[in-house]
Structure 1
Amino acid sequence: MRVLLTGSTGWLGRYLAPMLRGAGHQVVGLDIVPGDDTQIVGTVADRALVDRIFADHGIEAVIHAGALHKPDIVRYPRQAFVDVNVSGTLNLIEAAVAAGNDRFLFTSTTSLMVRADVRDGAGAAGAWWMDEDFGPLEPRNIYGITKLAAEQACRLVHREHGIAALILRTGRFFPEDDDTLAVPGGLNLKANELLNRRLTVEDAAAAHLVALERAPDIGCDTFILSAPPPFARDEAADLARDARAVIARHHPQAEALYAARGWVLPERIDRVYDPSRAERRLGWRASTDFGSVLAALADGTSLPFAHDPHYTSPIVAQRRHRRADDLCTN
């Protein structure tokens, strides 16, 4: 298929584009920043550009992975999030319907599920067990609000026109350090998050590839993408009280392996993302989980996830280069 991939210069795009080509698809990359897999530089908020792309390239399917993200809140006004994340999504899926496409993938985020009370910590029953039926959804910032609105737009167009629309709520897979949590930081934090809220970028890309193939058979559904947690739902209360004891039940070697590295396990876990629907309906399961981390620690091999504290998103890097150029010109 000829697949339009938005966000092709971004972290997910640079892994997903080669994977799509390896599966025999032709990839047309669209991003506001140039990149190796980006053939068209522009914004999804430009409906005329979107229509030209479909007409000129014979697009047969869309993977909409481009967006303004949470770190962009400090750089862009709210209206920009509406223009890109909501209007841009509508532009794409409506163009896909007009072109007769039968499938559309929307890369969403588990972040929109984090209400104020979830952000504050565990609930009365213990750790929040967050599957696709978790609600009510009350996003806490403009990023989450616009991603939820875009999800609803996809569902609306599916109901009205029948195009298969799969919504993939990804857990964390960014390579840089967390922008709010510092202790533990870096590698230790990412390893811990594979217990309950993270997946690798390779697994995120693989999920999109599977979803692209399965979409017409499924129709419309929402899927959480995260590494499979080792815990069961009935352990939620224990996770909020003493996560280390629960981890020891499933991975008794974890504490010693962590201690040898100078790492710490989480004392409490306040939320768990449940990706079991993706396994049941898509046939996708993340290949990297917390056990993979422990295996690497035991064997002394490389950790199975990307970590780059100096990583800068392409859009931020471009803005810095422009400011530097302006200073040189002045």
Structure 2
Amino acid sequence: MRILLTGSSGWLGRFLAPLLRANGHAVTGLDIAPGADTDMIGSVADRALVDRIFAERGIESVIHGGALHKPDIARYPAQAFIDVNVTGTLNLLEAATAAGHDRFVFTSTTSLMISQAIRDEAGEAAVWLDEASGPIEPRNIYGVTKLAAEQLCRLAWLNDGLNCVVLRTSRFFPEEDDTHRALSGENMKANELLHRRLTVEDAARAHLVALEKAPEIGFGSFIVSAQTPFSREECAALKRDAPAVIARHFPDAFELYRAKGWELPKSIGRVYDAALAGKLLGFRCETDFGTVLESLRRKAALPFAHDPDYISPKEEPGVG
């Protein structure tokens, strides 16, 4: 297929574009910043540009990964989030519908599921989050606009028959966390693979699978995260004493971590359940916490990317 990939210069795009091409697809990359996989420089908020790309490139399907993200809240006004995340999504959906497409994949985020109450983690048990969780009450403009974009996808399927798969990805950024620095970046990423992270390689694979499955799904929203080893019944114990729960699943985790100079999480306040993606999409992440421990046992390279100096291409000098 001839695919329009938005956000092609970003962290996901640099892994997803080559994967799509390796699977026989012709990719047109659109981003506001230049990149190895970006053919067109511009914004999805520019409807004339979107229409021109569809016409000139003969676009047959869309993977919409471009967006303003949570760290951008400190750099951009709320209106910019609406222009890019909401209006931009509508532009692409309307163009895809007009072109008679049968599939559209939208990169969303688990962040929109986190209300302020969930983020505060004040309860006595970890919050178990799956696609049935709610009510959905995003705590910032990023989450609000991504939820609105998801609903535009739902309407495009309901009203126009455009098959849309929404992927609520958990964390896969390579840089340091912008709010928590108690542990090293690698230590935090390893811990998060227990309950709220996936690798960028797995995120890219999920989009390829969603593209293939969209006509079969119709409309669906899926959490995409490394499969947690935990169960709902362990939520209270996870909040109270996470190392004890981890030890039940991974008896040598403490010793492996100690040898690395790492710490296990003392408490886990929320867990993403990605089981539905496995059931309906047939997708499961290849890398999880067990993979991390195996790399520690073998003293091999860690199975995820960590780059504390990573800067989004759109924030490079001279861009925008």
Shorter-chain TM-score: what band? over 0.9
Matched residue SS, 1:11: coil
Structure-to-structure mapping, 1:40-55, within 5 angstroms:
40-55=40-55
Are the counterparts in 2 of residues 6 and 65 from structure 1 also a CA contact under 8 Å?
yes
Correspondence 1:35 to 2:45: no
TM-score, normalised to structure 1, is 0.96
Are the counterparts in 2 of residues 178 and 185 from structure 1 also a CA contact under 8 Å?
no
TM-score, normalised to structure 2, is 0.99
Structure 2: runs of 5 or more not aligned: none
Give runs of ≥4 in structure 1 deviating > 4 Å.
none
Q: Find the counterpart in structure 2 of residue 123 from structure 1.
A: 123
Q: Find the counterpart in structure 1 of residue 165 from structure 2.
A: 166
Cα displacement string for residues 80-108 of structure 1 (whole angstroms, at most 9, x for unaligned residues):
00000000000001100000000000000
Q: Distance in 2 between matches of 1:32 and 1:311?
A: 17
Are the counterparts in 2 of residues 122 and 240 from structure 1 also a CA contact under 8 Å?
no
Q: Find the counterpart in structure 2 of residue 257 from structure 1.
A: 256
Structure-to-structure mapping, 1:1-330, within 5 angstroms:
1-124=1-124, 126-317=125-316, 320-321=317-318
Q: Distance in 1 between matches of 2:64 and 2:209?
A: 15
Q: Distance in 2 between matches of 1:4 and 1:149?
A: 21
Matched residue SS, 1:307: coil
Q: Output the amino acid matched with 2:238.
A: L
Are the counterparts in 2 of residues 131 and 273 from structure 1 also a CA contact under 8 Å?
yes
Q: Output the amino acid matched with 1:40.
A: M
Q: Output the amino acid matched with 1:131.
A: D
Identity of aligned residues (%): 65
Structure 1: runs of 5 or more not aligned: 324-330
Are the counterparts in 2 of residues 227 and 275 from structure 1 also a CA contact under 8 Å?
yes
Cα shift at 1:123: 2.9
Are the counterparts in 2 of residues 122 and 128 from structure 1 also a CA contact under 8 Å?
no
Matched residue SS, 1:227: coil
Q: Distance in 2 between matches of 1:150 and 1:212?
A: 18
Are the counterparts in 2 of residues 122 and 271 from structure 1 also a CA contact under 8 Å?
no
Q: Distance in 1 between matches of 2:166 and 2:318?
A: 34
Q: Distance in 2 between matches of 1:68 and 1:215?
A: 25
Q: Distance in 1 between matches of 2:123 and 2:115?
A: 12
Q: Find the counterpart in structure 2 of residue 327 from structure 1.
A: none
Q: Distance in 2 between matches of 1:135 and 1:193?
A: 22
CA RMSD of aligned residues (A): 1.0
